[in-house]
Chains A and B, each alone.
Chain A
Amino acid sequence: QKEVEQNSGPLSVPEGAIASLNCTYSDRGSQSFFWYRQYSGKSPELIMFIYSNGDKEDGRFTAQLNKASQYVSLLIRDSQPSDSATYLCAPGDFNKFYFGSGTKLNVKP
């Protein structure tokens, strides 16, 4: 069974701060890495994806990937209360994805 490890949190940050979410994975064959946001009682929605080593930025979000260390992270700049949710890391091989248990983020006004 492929393992995906995330700190369950909750991670609490003040509004306007940077939130840093981390994820490690066991499957070295993983080729694609997705970050999903899930609000309580709702389905996951895609935030970011990254395929290559390095950083990828999209608005307030930056995904960082280090395949050698089997580590992927998500940075949220200028955190807003509306960012409060559970963030799920999902490495995969395009056909199959393994989700972590997620990190719960609380952004305090």
Chain B
Amino acid sequence: DTGVSQNPRHKITKRGQNVTFRCDPISEHNRLYWYRQTLGQGPEFLTYFQNEAQLEKSRLLSDRFSAERPKGSFSTLEIQRTEQGDSAMYLCASSGPGVGEPYEQYFGPGTRLTVT
């Protein structure tokens, strides 16, 4: 168990470009979450997967955002036509049987996105 990993750790992009982030959860975990966090705020829920199924998606999430978890393992979060307001830390978390409490979320180190 190496924990939750996220790549890249930092991303600087120009407004209008597309970006994609990757999350590798703890291997035993079947639940995966994406959050966005800005300075001084708590993590904001974006979406949730159980295995490969996307079961929840925030209504606040623009249709420029899409997430996948094709084989129930790693997940990707894509932001199309980035805007300066998308600048934030994007956090991935996983939970599930085998490691920790069933609903205990283990967070990755995050991907910091800066849109110029």
Q: Which A residues lie at the B interface, using CB under 8 A?
A: 1, 4, 8, 32, 34, 42-46, 49, 88, 90, 92, 94-102
Contacts and interface: CB of A to CB of B under 8 A. Distances in A.
A102 B42 contact: yes
Contacts of B101: 46, 49
Contact of B45 (A42, A43, A98, A101): A98
A94 B103 contact: yes
Of all A-B residue pairs in the complex, the 6 with the closest CB atoms, nearest first, are: A99-B42, A43-B107, A99-B43, A88-B42, A101-B42, A96-B56
Interface residues of B, number: 25
Given A1-B60, A88-B42, A102-B42, A95 B55 contact: yes
Given A43-B110, A95-B50, 4 more contacts: A1-B60, A95-B55, A99-B42, A100-B42
Nearest to A42: B109
B60 A43 contact: no
9 contacts: A1-B60, A43-B91, A44-B43, A44-B107, A96-B48, A96-B56, A97-B45, A98-B45, A99-B42
B105 A46 contact: yes
- A-side interface mostly: loop
A100 B42 CA distance: 5
Contacts of A49: 101, 103-104
A94 B41 CA distance: 21
Contact of A95 (B40, B48, B91, B110): B48
Contacts of B35: 99
A97 B105 contact: yes
A94 B31 CA distance: 10
B28 interface: no
A27 B48 CA distance: 19
Contact of B104 (A8, A42, A43, A46): A46
Nearest to A86: B42
